[in-house]
Amino acid sequence: MSRPLAHLSDEALVLLAARSEQSALAELYDRYGRIAYGLALRVLRDERLAEDAVQEGFLALWRTAARFVPERGKASTWILTLVHRRAVDTVRREQRRRADSLERAPEVAVDGVEEHAWLRLQRERVQHALRQLPDTQREALELAYYGGFSQSELAERLGQPLGTIKSRMFAGLARMRELLGEPGMEMSWTSTS
């Protein structure tokens, strides 16, 4: 597949997308579509719903690209936030999926040859960092981010005061930031070809 914009930064691509440059949207999808889909699938446990969340997220990017402010954060963060938000909105409407969200995610069949080594490396690093968190913090982050539970739902589910849940989420995220900020951890897109 020819990727004429492969040399551009994510942020430059968003600026092009803001000017209706469709190939810029295509390139952003080629960089983050797979990660976004994996995330949506983890939250929603349903391929069709995950596809919808990814599509809605990328279309939100397309519609609002002109409002992106590079100084406020990375384009990749923004894209994943857009997709995650839609996935969470959907899972909160789909009550039947909530019941099993506390369980371990089913192993998704991933073709080891097909999956990029870079993605595998990132996954191992994030999972390694998560394992270093205290159990209560890890649980709060995983249920919130991967399970789509709101803080009030978590408080009820875990039988803890809301303030405790907030503290766990904050401490867990802050600790993850430290762990992931260590040298060698760069989450932005890099060429895998």
Partner 1 sequence: MDVHELTAAYALDALDADEAEAYEAHLAQCESCRVELAELSETAAALAFGVDSPAPPGRLRGAILDAAAAERANVVPLPHRAWGFRVAAAAAAVAACAAVGLGVWGATRTTTKTEALSAVVVVGADRHATLTVSGLAAAPQGKTYEAWVIPPGGRARPAGLFAGGGKTVVHLQGTVPSGATVAATIEHAGGASAPTSAPVITAQA
* Residues from 24 through 43 that contact partner 1 (CB under 8 A): 25-26, 29-30, 33-39, 41-42
Among 102, 115, 156, 190, binds partner 1 (CB under 8 A): 115
Give the nearest distance from C-beta 135 to partner 1 in angstroms: 16
Give the nearest distance from C-beta 14 to partner 1 in angstroms: 13
CA pair distance 159, 124, nearest whole angstrom: 31
Nearest CB to partner 1, comparing residues 7 and 82: 82
Q: What is the DSSP string of 14-76?
A: HHHHHTT-HHHHHHHHHHHHHHHHHHHHHHH--HHHHHHHHHHHHHHHHHHGGG--GGG--HH
Among 3, 45, 74, 98, binds partner 1 (CB under 8 A): 74
Residue 2 CA to its chain's centroid (Å): 26
Among 111, 159, 191, 192, binds partner 1 (CB under 8 A): 111
Give the nearest distance from C-beta 172 to partner 1 in angstroms: 8
The number of residues making up the chain comes to 193
Give the nearest distance from C-beta 122 to partner 1 in angstroms: 4
SS3 state of residue 2: coil
